[in-house]
Structure 1
Amino acid sequence: MVENSPYGAAPLRGSPMPYATVNGIRLAYSERGTGLPVVFLHGFPLNREMWTPQRQGLSDRARIVTVDLRGHGESDAPLWQYTMEQFSDDVAGLLDHLGLQSVVLVGLSMGGYIALMFCRRHAHRLKALVLTDTRAQADTEEGRAGRFQMAQTAYRKGPDAVRDIMVPKLLCPRTLQSNPMVVSQVDAMIARMELSGLAGDLMAMASRPDSVPLLPSIRCPTLVMVGEQDQPTPISDARLMSDRIPGARLEIIPDAGHLPNLEQPERFNQALWRFLSSLD
């Protein structure tokens, strides 16, 4: 156990705690390493396994925590409306469970929306923030309509139909053509989604508030990352955030789409570690 750590004590080795009961549900999580705690929030419609390259590549230098958000992976998937406020409070509850007072929060895509809501509700618990392949703007009317249609598709046809829609959006053409292992990993994560989680996510994303006015008030060190070929949240969205958050850095990951941490894990980890190692 790590004693007298400013970030809270790590669990005893050999005594894993894979679940936390938070806000009336069970959240599955994984952690590895000691020191600076870095909490990773996955995107839609994935789970904590998307962060495997980061857990493997950075846990010798930091305490890496990954979580299955409600509705995903091994966490509970209650049938009810989900909100970004609820997701962010789940994350705060997990930090309480782990005894973590201050963390670096890394959010990708939907995880970035949750991280921005965490800034609104729990900013005092942020040591630093990493927003990757996400956007601050709320959905347009067209975007909300698209989420409604995807929910109907999921209801009628199941996760396989969502996978067919999402995989070409999540991965760049090079990955789709030359990295079948990553494609298979993404396929498998989407296949595990339950309908309640899919619908809940889509409602939460469609109803999230505009976070652009929030950006100038973010005071913690911030890194914005984006895949060079990201389609859902392109470089222009990343630049908007990095330009408006005081002192924010921008990292563009070449030869990657919406999931640069899986498509270019070494480049992603190097860029992330440069930022983490610069923190006091």
Structure 2
Amino acid sequence: MAFGYAWDMSVPVILLHAFPYSPAMWKEQLWVVQGHPVLVPDILGFESLESAAAHVLVEMDNRGWEKAVFVGLSMGGYVIFRLWNLEPERFAGLVLADTRATSDTPEQKAARAQMALRIRQEGTGFLPEALLPGHLGGTTRTRNPALVEQVRQTLLAVDPDKTIASLKGLAERPDSVPLLPDIAIPALILVGEEDTLTPPADARQMAVQIPDSRMLIIPQAGHLANLENPKAFNTALLGFLWEIDH
């Protein structure tokens, strides 16, 4: 399901969440997008990212939105590339956060397949141990035990079948690097300085190749930068949306 808010006629904003989380991960960003029609769709559980993108487009059509600013973190960023591949005319701008344009390596694909097998065999109890070290930066793990516990509980509660389906979609996603030079709209690239999964080097690769882009590093944050340093993330997002509206 998706939940939405609408205030005035500013450009709509669509927030696309990370794997294996839910739209609830954007709670700290909802105040930033007040004044915009907002869509926060659930994109977990699709066996292809094209299917997830098509779902988002249907949600847009149901609201009568021609264009939107798309904000995607990690898996959400991968879905943005599929959306651009399908209907680039629907973009007013985009924000790529803690994500990358390249496809999975054979080793990464094998790791996703192994994770899916473990979920089938064991359930989701091992996910915090497997994912927390990569999803949260060292600063968060050391200084913010409340957030660590919040993310831990979220991972324990994920739907096993939807998580397995998304692992397949992530592993089979195509290389989106060829799309980058043709992204002819304003783009903001955000990355946590402590992100080890999609590190600043990946963000720089995208920033160099997307013509109208700017890149900001979020301090004291890892892969879930919007949760780990919401103040810095929100300031960047707010400034970008102001530019789009004006």
Contact 1:103 1:127 (C-alpha < 8 Å) held by counterparts: yes
Corresponding residue of 2:199: 234
The letter of the residue matching 2:51 is: Q
The letter of the residue matching 2:3 is: Y
Corresponding residue of 2:116: 151
The letter of the residue matching 2:12 is: P
Corresponding residue pairs, total: 244
Write the distance in 2 (CA, Å) between the matches of 1:273 and 1:91: 23
Q: 1:266 aligns with which of 221, 231, 244?
A: 231
The letter of the residue matching 2:74 is: S
SS of the aligned residue for 1:232 comes to: coil
Corresponding residue of 1:202: 167
Corresponding residue of 1:89: 54
Q: 2:152 aligns with which of 169, 187, 208?
A: 187
For structure 2, which runs of at least 5 residues remain unmatched after alignment?
A: none
Corresponding residue of 1:29: 3
Contact 1:32 1:59 (C-alpha < 8 Å) held by counterparts: no
For structure 1, which runs of at least 5 residues remain unmatched after alignment?
A: 1-26, 72-80
SS of the aligned residue for 2:70 comes to: strand
Corresponding residue of 2:28: 53
Assess, with a 3 A threshold, how the Cα gap between structure 1 residues 266 and 32 changes in structure 2: closer, same or farther.
farther
Write the distance in 1 (CA, Å) between the matches of 2:34 and 2:164: 37
C-alpha RMSD of matched pairs (Å): 1.4
What is the deviation of 1:33? 4.1
> Could you say which structure has the higher helix fraction?
2
Contact 2:137 2:195 (C-alpha < 8 Å) held by counterparts: yes
Corresponding residue of 2:139: 174
Pair 1:38-2:38 in alignment: no
Give the % identical residues: 39
Corresponding residue of 1:103: 68
Pair 1:250-2:215 in alignment: yes
Write the distance in 1 (CA, Å) between the matches of 2:5 and 2:34: 12
Write the distance in 1 (CA, Å) between the matches of 2:191 and 2:199: 7
The letter of the residue matching 1:43 is: A
Write the distance in 2 (CA, Å) between the matches of 1:103 and 1:185: 30
Larger RCO: 1 or 2 (CA < 8 Å, sep 6+)? 2
Write the distance in 1 (CA, Å) between the matches of 2:197 and 2:44: 23
Assess, with a 3 A threshold, how the Cα gap between structure 1 residues 187 and 33 changes in structure 2: closer, same or farther.
farther
- TM-score for the superposition, normalised by structure 2: 0.95
- TM-score for the superposition, normalised by structure 1: 0.83
Contact 2:13 2:33 (C-alpha < 8 Å) held by counterparts: no
The letter of the residue matching 1:268 is: F
